[in-house]
Amino acid sequence: MASKLDSLHPADVADILEALPLDQRLDVWELVKVERDGDILLEVSDAVRQTLIADMNSDELLAAAEQLDTDELADLAPDLPKDVLQDLLDNLDAQNRARLQSALSYSEDAVGAIMDFDIVTIREDITLEVALRYMRRLGSLPDHTDKLFVVDRNEILRGVLPLKLLVVSDLDAIVSDIMSDDAVTFHPEDIADEAAKAFERYDLVTAPVVDVNNKLVGRVTVDAVMDLIREEAESDMLSMAGLREEEDFFASVWKSVQNRWAWLAINLVTALVASRVIGLFEGSIEKIVALAALMPIVAGIGGNSGNQTTTMIVRGLALGQVASHNMQSLITKELGVALLNGLLWGGVLGVIATAKSAFTAVTCIKIIYYVKLRLHHGHND
Amino acid sequence: MASKLDSLHPADVADILEALPLDQRLDVWELVKVERDGDILLEVSDAVRQTLIADMNSDELLAAAEQLDTDELADLAPDLPKDVLQDLLDNLDAQNRARLQSALSYSEDAVGAIMDFDIVTIREDITLEVALRYMRRLGSLPDHTDKLFVVDRNEILRGVLPLKLLVVSDLDAIVSDIMSDDAVTFHPEDIADEAAKAFERYDLVTAPVVDVNNKLVGRVTVDAVMDLIREEAESDMLSMAGLREEEDFFASVWKSVQNRWAWLAINLVTALVASRVIGLFEGSIEKIVALAALMPIVAGIGGNSGNQTTTMIVRGLALGQVASHNMQSLITKELGVALLNGLLWGGVLGVIATAKSAFTAVTCIKIIYYVKLRLHHGHND
């Protein structure tokens, strides 16, 4: 079992852990080698990560964290106990400590929170041959390296040199002649979601992150962006159902109720409002009780068509397609749709209700006729 | 205006077109250079693409399509008029015609539909120096090339050689010694969504697509995967609101109603069922009309907590976290949550209803007392 776990990718081990109830999950977690703990903690969801960390002592946590890069540590840090985090910071060298502290200082939805520090830089005045020799001396490049960052001696970004240009260009060419100097760059304070859109739009694999002075401070990679897109989509889905956050599938009933109660409370308030409105018409309902039976239909159709419009507009706002210049025509259009829907479904409901009451009336007449007939028969008997 | 459009990235032009009402959109579309039409058609949404294509004649469409790669043509083909598509096929050389036809033969959610044919292959028995010389002779590599595909003379995939290994390794090394032979590969029939998950999981930038004989037929790139993830997330959002497809913001009212009616019709049917259930209790409602006012609260809380559970389970199924071995404990947990929610919100509602009726009773008593008092006074006057 342990050796089988060792042969699996951290993401696959994470999946197994997610799908297990708490006690079995911790049993499996015990079997995972210490040096892989860090990578797996990065892959599991926040909720599951907390259950795993709660089961580890400080030494185990420190050992796991030591296997990670600074940017990975930054992802893990918010879930670590304070004393472990302090020990970690003490163990880091000055550069990495500064990086970790700055990464932790950005808000969760800023580019600074998703950037990493695996940057390979070269100077602009060397030939490609020299650059290639430098690469070979490095011996390996970080994952996702699709471009080298060209900087001057003050780490100011001058341009980027894609690997695919490096390998096809003449070896005697100078870096500054080959590099592209209009690369898409980000600032650590930029909104991560905007950066993600730029990645999709311009089909990026990595992009440099620079400070206000254009000094290179890190990079964003497409895998971090993809994780972000997936997380955003999921949190949109969850919040549409009023779930506050990703829920550990095997969280206690009590924890689940805590995650879900706020939305239900809001709903209770709106439902109370609806109930007051209905209260205004108690007189009418008292006269025709069938009206009460028609209420859920009106509420359902109204709610759902409103929901459709909301979804459309929210999506348009997210994509930047709704702006002041087209507001007028959008409102006109949605009012038109609402009117048509109202006529259509009101009509359908009217036909159904009429048919039903006509049916009732016919039944009544039949019964009266039948009773009459019986009476008549009775007379004749 | 036209020159400003020329300086923009196709994705940015697409955004502008999306945000314009139909007549203005077509005016701007006229200003776009013919050779850029194809790229922009690829970037706009399906709904907007149809409005643009409807405005172009066959010659314009052919000219636009000629600028595109085979895999891009395949994305566009379903929206093209039949005769234009036939002309296009006739103009292609044999290899590209075969590729386009095979790309069109895969279902929309298969890997075959998102793969492209921009593959650079090398042999395994050459040195890296020879490989680099070959690259330099090619002069350029396709976008997103992060690895070369190593094939034998029958195009059978032997392994992959990441560019980042190519640039750091010894020039005298043989490709087969450096390449990795356990790369993640896909088949054209694989489900695209599964491939997307593998891209996220294993942090891929490109991956080879092979047929049953392991013959290389194409590749999948991370930008296609990102588009897929975004589209899936959006279509999930839209279908949660019962919208059948992405809607052109400036579609006619009638088109919008067509997009939305099916969900509303389903809703009408379920609401009719709810109305029948309420009909069963007409007797009780007739006695206590206040019950009618409480109905939306019961329906609201019930519907929303059900929605939360559904969202959780659907998400779990999508992530593969719900399986037969944990079904039992999930059902127990959700029943627990339901019980707790029922007690909680039932209790809250009970308190509110009691308070309200107590308030009414107190008001009644006050009125009676007041009337009595008045009568008493009247007597005394």
Please list the alpha-helical segments (H only) found in A92-221. 94-105, 111-114, 128-138, 163-166, 175-178, 192-201
| Closest alpha carbon within chain A to B285 | A289
Structure tokens at A204: 């990026």
* Topology, domain A121-232: CBS-domain (3.10.580)
Judged by CB atoms closer than 8 Å, whether chains meet at B205 and A146 is answered as yes
pLDDT of amino acid A129: 92
ipTM over 0.90: no
Domain boundaries, chain B: 2-105, 121-240, 250-280, 285-380
Report the C-alpha gap between B306 and A278 in whole angstroms: 24
Check if the beta carbon of residue A264 is closer than 8 Å to that of residue B347. Answer: no
Interchain proximity B285–A282, CB inside 8 Å: no
Contact criterion met (CB < 8 Å) for A268 and B234: no
Q: Which residues of B touch A13 (CB under 8 A)?
A: none
For an interface test with B, give the residue of A45, A135, A163 to mutate (most B CBs within 10 A): A163
Looking at residue B191, the DSSP 8-state letter turns out to be B
Residue of B nearest to A145 (CA): B164
Contacts of A232 in chain B (CB under 8 A): 233
- Distance, CA of B75 to CA of B288 (rounded, Å): 61
Query: Does the distance separating the beta carbons of B304 and A267 come in below 8 Å?
Result: yes
Interface touch B307/A20, C-beta < 8 Å = no
Residue stretches of chain B with pLDDT short of 70: 1, 244-249, 377-381
Residue B297: closest C-alpha in chain A: A271
CATH number of B2-105: 1.25.60.10
Q: Return the residue of A nearest to B232 by Cα.
A: A233
* CATH classification number, B121-240, choose in 3.40.50.970, 3.50.50.60, 3.20.20.80, 3.10.580.10: 3.10.580.10
- In 3D, which of B154, B220, B150 has the Cα closest to residue B182? B150
Give B26's contacts (C-beta < 8 A, 6+ positions apart): B51, B52, B55
* Token digits of residue B312: 């959780």
Q: Residue A299 has what pLDDT? A: 80
C-alpha closest to that of B315 among A221, A224, A240, A214? A240
Mark the ranges of chain A whose per-residue pLDDT is less than 70.
244-249, 377-381
Q: Would you tell me how many other CB atoms lie within 10 Å of the CB of residue A241? A: 20
Let me know how many helices (H) and strands (E) chain B has, helices first: 19, 5
- pLDDT of B295: 80
